[in-house]
Amino acid sequence: MVLFFKSSPLLPYWNALTVAGESRHGSARALLERSQLLDPSFIDTRVVSADLLLAERRMAAAAAAYADLLRTEPGSLRGGARFANIVAELRAAGDFVRPLQAALEAYIHEVRGQLADAADDERRWMIEEIAGAESMLAVVQPSGRE
């Protein structure tokens, strides 16, 4: 069990959640960096890192971090009002939603480009991914234009 925790990103990730909840952002950042080093593919670390940037009001950095997530794993920000709340905070602080819009458009374009060559089971997943990303894009562009 000890070996699992020494090589797993989970322990520093869980500790980061705890100290971030106590507004100890510097400590949380260090723990998240450790978690990221242990497993760069652990997406939750990247999500919480972006959330921490938003909590610190580092809007340009938060927008860039969220855009990076949207380019590769838009599902990591789906669910309930989570994405809408992120967009609302970024929009209220200035023009920080454009990177999110560009990332979603790029993701949709990439998945659509792969759709023709996909097998049937992959095609169903891709269509769901496109629909999810388009619904997120509608949040970024509530007027339907831009």
Q: Which of 71, 22, 73, 25 is nearest to 49 (CA)?
A: 25
Instruction: Tell me the domain boundaries of the chain.
Output: 1-56, 59-146
pLDDT beyond 60 at 145: no
Asked if residues 97 and 87 have their Cβ atoms less than 8 Å apart, the reply is yes
Give the pLDDT confidence of 90-102 residue by residue, as tens digits: 999 988 999 999 9
What was the pLDDT predicted at 10? 76
What was the pLDDT predicted at 65? 96
Which H/E stretch holds residue 12? helix 10-21
Amino acid at 93: A
- pTM to 2 decimal places: 0.84
Give the pLDDT confidence of 29-67 residue by residue, as tens digits: 888 888 888 888 889 999 999 999 999 999 999 999 999
